[in-house]
A and B are shown apart, each in its own frame.
Chain A
């Protein structure tokens, strides 16, 4: 089975050698916005930025039920960026989708700009959590999913984006185990795997989730259609993880 065609798969992660990530091909609307950032802040363009750009684009372009006009709507989907570093791509997509003015991209981190090295939910429209320290987003996502359910808000889903190295944080394991054990169906985690975890995850990342009762799909993190299928083709009765494999971090 090709990784890019998997939608809901339980514990059958293909070997890393079997995957052929196709490499970055920036979404057209985002390219000029990233160029604006690059014009002033070359240092923000680590491979981390490019590792998440396709996933972010698919989420914002095709999945998330959110818009700049309804950032406070209780019925909106929630997107929680847990790996809050290297956010240039996130900011570019927020600008592409109208959440922030494009001219905010021209002087990131400046004393008067709301866009800093890590996003702050109180400063940036559309940003659901302030993040930066790794290992906080999934716990907040679990609480958000529980809070929505407790208020009868069964439509919105909660999406949390993490990195493979971020999974080293033990706090994520608390959240993975609890969400799986309680069948928290409103939660989707997306793990961008660019092989940056210091000791790696032998056997693949998805197994860590499926053994705890999640459904999982492992796909080419550059293949937009595969990402879309993986993010939508699950039963919604259990928490779901999409492992988006991209080229290894340099």
Chain B
């Protein structure tokens, strides 16, 4: 996904003089050619994440469309107040693009994990959050985000489904178990695990790469009583949205995602999927318990 991001951003910088890229050393090597071609619009501030977002806000104040990029915990967690004040409160916008996701580099430990990023962005107003599930989904999402004027968080990961699903972000049914069946909503790269988890179960599965704004109309059309969320970031991040959407109906929600506890374990991303119950077996156990 990062490669697609780099290539697409390079093209956007060439195509649209309104586009600017702000970096804090992360991925800077990949943008050397872009920086040479567009020295005034490819800005690497060094390892300074508060300045990274502040500069994005300043560029936006002059009318440019900044793409602000670094590793997820540094972009969203370290610079949260800059996102809140230097973008939102100034009434200007940027396209924030992270890599690293919840635990793409677990060997680096807690400092490089960012399961809370989407929840933090969700404390703000009006943001679109994209969590693509395949590298082929990235370019159209980035292009649309840069062409628009609203605030966007694009969360890239090394985890991916076997194939792209695309779409505009509305819930897309990928497995229809028939009327009245529980609805499972899988976000981004966890779709394959979710599909494998409910194999043989009467569960309808829908996919989205756009948890914000959540497709509440689609949810109301598809949901009956039981709703299962499978999200690749902090568990329960979208529970509030589902509760609000279904407030006039009796419903039950099972919210699966990354746990809050610092596991203090390294390993691989697959290990962390398993430890957080987000592999197929873990999702299956939770769904069986929920529906029994």
Contacts and interface: CB of A to CB of B under 8 A. Distances in A.
Q: Do A and B bind each other?
A: yes
A121 B90 contact: yes
Interface in A116-172: 120-122, 128-130, 133, 135-136, 138-151, 153, 170-171
Contacts of A148: 62
B279 interface: no
A143 B90 contact: no
B91 A121 contact: yes
A136 B60 CA distance: 15
A177 B46 CA distance: 10
Contact of B61 (A120, A140, A170): A140
A8 to B, nearest CB: 25
Interface in B22-52: 22, 40-41, 43, 45-46, 48, 50-51
Contacts of B41: 150
B82 A146 contact: no
B57 A140 contact: yes
A120 B207 CA distance: 40
B89 interface: yes
Nearest to B49: A174
A177 B45 CA distance: 9
B85 A130 contact: yes
Contacts of B99: none
Contacts of A177: 46, 48
B252 to A, nearest CB: 41
Contact of A178 (B46, B61, B63, B82): B46
A150 B86 contact: no
A175 interface: yes
A150 B20 contact: yes
B35 to A, nearest CB: 13
Contact of B40 (A120, A142, A149): A149
A238 B60 CA distance: 23
A133 B81 contact: yes
Contacts of A139: 50-51, 53-55, 57-58, 82, 86
Which has the most chain B C-beta neighbours within 10 Å: A74, A122, A147, A177?
A: A147
B56 interface: yes
A128 B82 CA distance: 16
B62 A151 contact: yes
Chain A binding surface SS class? helix
B89 to A, nearest CB: 5
Contact of B62 (A130, A135, A136, A147): A147
A138 B91 CA distance: 18
Nearest to B22: A143
A76 to B, nearest CB: 11
A138 B50 CA distance: 11
Contact of B54 (A122, A142, A153): A142
A129 B41 CA distance: 22
Contacts of B197: none
Given A151-B64, A174-B45, A136 B20 contact: no
B58 A142 contact: yes
B59 A147 contact: yes
A49 B61 CA distance: 27
A15 B183 CA distance: 72
Contact of A130 (B48, B50, B82, B90): B90
Which has the most chain A C-beta neighbours within 10 Å: B66, B82, B89?
A: B89
A170 B45 contact: no
A136 B48 contact: no
Given A136-B82, A139-B58, A174-B48, A146 B40 contact: yes
A143 B91 contact: no
Contact of A147 (B58, B81, B82): B58
B53 to A, nearest CB: 8
B48 A178 contact: yes
A177 B55 CA distance: 14
Given A148-B62, A174-B48, A129 B90 contact: yes
Contact of B89 (A130, A135, A143, A149): A130
A136 B55 contact: no
Interface in A60-118: 74, 78
Contacts of B56: 143
A143 B57 CA distance: 7
A150 B48 contact: no
A170 B61 CA distance: 23
14 contacts: A133-B81, A133-B85, A140-B57, A140-B90, A143-B58, A143-B60, A144-B58, A146-B58, A146-B59, A147-B20, A147-B62, A150-B40, A171-B82, A177-B48
Nearest first, the 8 closest Cβ-Cβ pairs linking A and B are A143-B58, A139-B54, A147-B62, A143-B55, A174-B48, A150-B40, A174-B51, A144-B58
Interface of B: 17, 20, 22, 40-41, 43, 45-46, 48, 50-51, 53-64, 66, 81-82, 85-86, 89-91
